[in-house]
A and B are shown apart, each in its own frame.
Chain A
Amino acid sequence: MEKVLLANIDNPKSAEIGVYEASGGYDSLRKSLELAPDDIIETVKKANLRGRGGAGFPTGMKWMFASKDPKFPKYLVCNADEGEPGTFKDRPILEKNPHILIEGMAISGHALKAEFGYIYLRGEYPAAKGILEEAIRQAEAKGYIGDNMMGSGRNFKLAVHQGAGAYICGEETALIESLEGKKGHPRIKPPFPVNVGAWGMPTIVNNVETLSNMPFLMRVGPEAYAAIGSKECPGPKLFCVSGHVNKPGVYELPMGVTLREIIYDHCGGIKNGKTLKAVIPGGISTPVLPPDKIDCPMDFVNMPKHGSMLGSGAVIVMDESVCLVKVCLRALKFFEHESCGKCTPCRDGVSWLRQVLARIEGGEGRPGDIELLSEVAGNITGKTFCPLGDGAASVVLNFIKHFRDEFDMHIARKGCPIK
């Protein structure tokens, strides 16, 4: 497959506008500016582009909601706050191919009649801030974005907003709050950001990868785009693989590639000839899978049928040496650390889960602890303000579901059996 999102990234000067232009960069924007905004939205719908942030919501539909809202100005916000542990797929775009994102945002801005765009960049990517700002400067200097883009009469101002270390800001309403200079607390929905978003105006929040798909999508058209990968949710997809594989890294592959193909064909299999023990397929909040469940096609529609989710496409591969109780505990420490503290079940329930897991991992587990974990997780599920707490509960429930023995053993042997 032709590399779209990661084109040029092996070129050390890939972030420069000249390199991007040389491979047809900004042609799609030029072409799109000649189209009516609604036609672009129609194209996106036809291409069946789905949001790459994790939830897989149809992008065209989201855009249509925002476009129909009569309020102006509208804001386009790029969610570059990839904080889901195991996820590093957007970083190469941000650091090495910034112009594809800028072009994508300019096209999207035109489609949405949004004249202001923000890239909400996670604080943990300090280098990307300078790279993006320089790229924006270059694109403005060339007249691609800014006032009167390419003589089209359309304006699109773009700025980088740096986050400051809060996973919850990946949730779009929390992200908007943070953009407004507030704590990253998720908002009550409805109203949805497409109607009442940043500064009370219609706001579209899309992931880096989603927006970066736009130049290619507009270049090849919806039919060619929809022909790539899965029928239900097509297009190129970035998979970022970490853990015990021989060749970890970011892979651009068609949607629907199986987990087995990713691990064994693209990443060269398990490191040091060890055996696979578990895979987290889509970032830490997605349900862990045992080795016998890795023949699932990685896309938003099929993964749930196989007991997990595509999430951010962050594949964490774990070999036999890994203590899964410890992994589960580390995940819960993460959720506890990142819980915004707003709702009771997430704030207090997740902390409780972590404390029980810490006891089990520390060799002080007691009979009944696993049932307690399940019940506490059950009390959290479906009752939290936003998906963060649900995610934490689901991690615990799925680790127990697939690897209960290991938990039992920790309790029975008063410690980790693997050490």
Chain B
Amino acid sequence: MIKVTINGREVQLDKQVTILEAARRAGIKIPTLCHFEGLEMYGGCRLCLVEVEKMPRLQTSCTLMVTDGMVITTESEQIAAARRGMLEFILTNHPLDCPFCDKAGECELQDLVYLYGGTEGRFTEPKAKHPESNVDPILARNIERCISCTRCVRMCDGVVGASAISMINRGRHTVMEPFSGGKFDCEYCGNCLTVCPVGSILSRLYKETYRPWQVERTVRTVCGHCGVGCSYDLQVRDEAIKRVIPRIGEGLNRGLLCARGRFGYEFVGAKDRLKKPLVRRDGNLVETTWDEALGFIAAKLSEVIKTHGGEAVAGIASVRCTNEDNYVFQKFMRGVVGTNNIDSAARMGFSGAQAYLESLRGQGVSANVIAGLAKSDVIFVAGGDPTMVTPILGLEIRGAAKKGAKIISLDPAPGLEFFNPHKIVPSLFAEGAVLESLLCRAVSARGMTGELPHLEEAIRAAVSAECAGVAAQSGVPDAEIEKASATISGSQSPAFVIGPDIVQRADGNRNLFLLAALSYVTGGRIFLLSGKANEQGAVDMGCLPDTLPGGRPLAIDGFRKRHEDACGMSVPAREGLSLMEMFPAMADGRIKALYVIGENPAFNLPGGNSIKSALEKLDLLVVQDIFLTETAKMADIVLPALSWAEKDGTFTNLERRIQRVRRGVNREGREDWRILCDLAGRMGAAMEYASSEAVMSEIARVSPVHRDLHYSDIEAGAMQWPYHGEPLRGEASTVSLVTASARPTVGSGRFALLVDRPLFQSGTLTRRSKALLKLIPKATVKMNPLDAASLGISGGIVRVSSDAGSVELEAVIDSSVQMGAVKISNHFEGAGVFGLMTKPPVDPVTKAPAFEGCLVAVEPLKGDAKS
């Protein structure tokens, strides 16, 4: 116990902290400018000077640690004079343009000058001039206002690890600049904005459009982009989101955000949001009333059910909708329509992977807290760059690396480049051989515990006695694998971060088995990356063809009966079709009607025209969405839904943390669940809830995992797996490992087509966010410099052709793309990577489509290719 006296008051501390922190705990505020919670100590602004007995000079309270018996004074005439002096110095280089500075009203410098008073402007020399830089599309940089506190740089460098900005020059000429001196060309997380105490870094999204005190509403919610689930505040004025700001230290993101989260909100106010229901008349979609639209659906859907049975209907749930929406959707499909043909885009990798990993290692195996990555000493990253797919989780990996954790990346992860990764880059699609070799070595190094006999049996069957040479076909030398293996085997707490790319393989299940086995043998935790806000929620709510809410297999009668009793509706006994199985069924007439909420299969699923032609065969296609998507354009009826910013509910993130989504913007329209309840009523089934909270009450009754979980519990923090519920135990005992047959290939080009997952775009929502569009305005094809050179390409427009068609895109030379591959994203209309893929193979275990084996040709277009 350390005892100190601050301003005559005794303060007891359990450990050594700075004077500043000790004072804070005693409720004494010491002014600061360069200090910021969570950033590296600096001691530059000299505002926090205090008197410490027996020390001759004033001391900076932000850097000096307390010692027992220390006597500290934080306010005196001497201190006030010193602080006034420091402020006077700062103002010698500050324009005092507060009347038109965006920061006015929430400027820390302004507040301090107000508090201590500027002396009567004794500085009469000319002030340095730096015109504001607005060359960057997102961030404005105003150096005249900069007070050189370096908070932005310490954030960018020390916390985010992007190291995109630095203080250049020295002394009075020190200025904050990105490398280029103009555009930031950074990760655009905007965390520099959060920490800037003055108006030096400003978001151009809302610059000069309002003053901070004009915000009408500040609503705490969870980000609607990826599966991390960062907390932040929506600030709203005139029913439009003015800005998104995080709260320091709060949420699992602890106040950090990424580009999509911070700048990707403009889609909410997009002009092309759907406003009224649309119905197809004479081949065209025309506006109609809710009453007419719902009446039409009820009649048509009933007719299909009556004629062909409920199993002729399929439903696609949404990985962007809330748990409440998805719960009601599956209830509607099962109880009202009578089908288990329910799935969501989580099937693209996440849901099947999780189900398989859980069958191997138990339910909840991937429900690990992201912050726990910081405690890992080895982090194995496979199947995608976490800094792009799930940026805040990526930061956690960087943070661990800074603390000394070793990073091993299987396949390139450019966002971890400066964190000393051990990069293993096997030949294309040959990750499995590396994993097998690693597993073999891990088993011989660490043995097995006997804890999970079914898994161990499978492991023994899978590994060879001789580990050398196992990875031969991967092209990675044994020595390199041995080095990685030694790192993993020597780890006390390894983490395995599994991204979509390694799942979306023809032998994805084998990769997952090897990873599950490797994590089992080494005692590692699994993190399954999720690129959408509520992928986990869609799964947990039972938007799966074989699983009820709470992860109970519906094929087991006991579970099904219990569920039927709890929700008061019957559930068909037969498992339904998974996402990729639905389309062949539509094509051959087994499925006649499709109900889609918040998803865009015509664009977001691989298979090109085969998906579209399957949709065309339907008798009824209903789409609930916030935009007229490619799928909505084909629909018989389109219902306008509300975005995540406009409704209440919950999301479940990739750690299985359930968090509250709150309405920030009031907009006319209905939540997806409310639409479905109305429809159910019209179809003669009573589904009525007063609010999303009432839906959650039912979930808490129906789902064994979510037992007794109410909004109040979630808000009080009981939102982390396994809540108060009962995870499923001991159900799976067999390993359905399907060994890859010969690698499939389709097409005749020389490049393997890969899916690009950039940081600034993730599809439907981001492509309607103006700011993010400025960062990636259009689709591109990325290729390795050597491949590009061999085709005489150094940029310009190229044609990429597959069996499914061709697109013309700008070529981007990127050395992180492997030789022999090209990468295209799936974000821009008419230029999505999935449109180039003809009926991709589906993994028999995870039922995820495989994005491999699609070969494309690339040719420069005459006249456009630069020589």
Chain A positions within 8 Å of B, measured between CB atoms, are 166, 183, 188, 190, 336-345, 347-349, 351-352, 355-356, 359, 372, 375, 379, 382-385
Contacts and interface: CB of A to CB of B under 8 A. Distances in A.
A372 B125 CA distance: 13
A233 B63 CA distance: 33
A201 to B, nearest CB: 16
Contact of B90 (A344, A372, A383): A344
A351 B172 contact: yes
Contact of B44 (A342, A352, A355): A342
Interface of B: 41-47, 49, 56-58, 63, 65, 82, 85-86, 88-90, 92-93, 122-123, 125, 147-148, 167, 169-174
B737 to A, nearest CB: 47
Q: Which of B125, B170, B171 has the most CB of A within 10 A?
A: B171
Given A345-B89, A372-B122, A383-B85, A340 B43 contact: no
Given A336-B171, A348-B92, A355-B125, A343 B44 contact: yes
A339 B93 CA distance: 15
B171 A343 contact: no
Contacts of A383: 46, 49, 57-58, 82, 85-86
Given A183-B170, A348-B90, 9 more contacts: A190-B65, A339-B172, A341-B148, A344-B46, A345-B85, A348-B89, A348-B92, A375-B122, A383-B46
Contacts of A344: 44-47, 86, 89-90, 147-148
A227 to B, nearest CB: 34
B92 A188 contact: no
Nearest to B174: A341
Contacts of B122: 372, 375
A14 B46 CA distance: 49
Contacts of A340: 170-171
Contact of B170 (A166, A190, A343, A349): A166
A375 B122 CA distance: 11
Contacts of A379: 82, 85-86, 88-89
A352 B43 contact: no
Contacts of B45: 343-344
Of B45, B46, B49, B92, which is in contact with the most chain A CB atoms at under 10 Å from its CB?
A: B46
B171 A352 contact: no
A349 B93 CA distance: 10
B57 A356 contact: no
B123 A352 contact: yes
B171 A341 contact: yes
Nearest to A341: B174
Contacts of A336: 171-172
A110 to B, nearest CB: 32
Contacts of A385: 43-44, 46
Contacts of B42: 342
A362 to B, nearest CB: 12
A375 to B, nearest CB: 8
Interface of B is mostly: loop
29 contacts: A166-B170, A336-B171, A341-B167, A341-B173, A342-B42, A343-B45, A343-B46, A344-B47, A344-B147, A345-B46, A345-B85, A345-B86, A345-B89, A347-B171, A347-B172, A348-B89, A351-B171, A351-B172, A355-B125, A356-B125, A359-B125, A379-B85, A382-B56, A382-B58, A383-B49, A383-B58, A383-B82, A384-B46, A385-B44
Contacts of A188: 41, 43, 63
B112 to A, nearest CB: 12
B88 A343 contact: no
Given A344-B44, A348-B90, A382 B171 contact: no
Given A337-B171, A341-B167, A383-B57, A352 B86 contact: no
Nearest to A188: B63
A348 B148 CA distance: 10
A341 B85 contact: no
Contacts of A339: 170-172
Nearest to A348: B89
Given A341-B172, A344-B44, A349 B89 contact: yes
Contacts of A352: 89, 92, 123, 125
Contacts of B172: 336, 339, 341, 347-348, 351
Q: Which 6 A-B pairs rank lowest in CB-CB distance, beginning with the nearest?
A: A379-B85, A341-B174, A339-B171, A348-B89, A355-B125, A351-B172
A207 to B, nearest CB: 23
A347 B174 CA distance: 9
Nearest to B171: A339
A345 B82 CA distance: 10
Contacts of B86: 344-345, 379, 383
Contacts of B44: 342-344, 385
Contacts of B57: 382-383
B408 to A, nearest CB: 24
A343 B169 CA distance: 14
Contacts of B43: 188, 343, 385
A340 B167 CA distance: 11
B85 A338 contact: no
A379 B49 CA distance: 12
Nearest to B40: A188
A387 to B, nearest CB: 11
Nearest to B175: A341
A244 B727 CA distance: 89
A336 B173 CA distance: 10
A120 to B, nearest CB: 18
Contacts of A382: 56-58
Contacts of B89: 344-345, 347-349, 352, 379
A345 B44 CA distance: 9
A349 to B, nearest CB: 5
A379 B123 CA distance: 14
Among B82, B85, B123, max chain A CB count under 10 A is at B85
Contacts of B93: 348
A188 to B, nearest CB: 5
A190 to B, nearest CB: 8
Nearest to B126: A355
Nearest to A383: B46
Nearest to B88: A379
A385 B44 CA distance: 7
A100 to B, nearest CB: 34
Nearest to B125: A355
A358 to B, nearest CB: 9
A352 B93 CA distance: 10
Contacts of A375: 122
A208 to B, nearest CB: 25
Most buried by A among B49, B92, B172: B172
Contacts of A351: 92, 171-172
Contacts of B174: 341, 347
Residue among B45, B63, B170 having the largest count of chain A Cβ atoms under 10 Å: B170
Nearest to A375: B122
Contacts of A338: 171
A183 B170 CA distance: 9
Contacts of A355: 125
A344 B85 CA distance: 10
A383 B87 CA distance: 13
B68 to A, nearest CB: 15
Contacts of A343: 43-46
A341 B43 CA distance: 12
A343 B82 CA distance: 13
Contacts of A356: 125
Residue of A183, A337, A379 with highest tally of chain B CB at under 10 A: A379
A385 B49 CA distance: 11
A354 to B, nearest CB: 9
A166 B170 CA distance: 10
A166 to B, nearest CB: 7
A82 to B, nearest CB: 19
Nearest to A351: B172
Nearest to B62: A188
Contacts of B82: 379, 383
A367 to B, nearest CB: 13
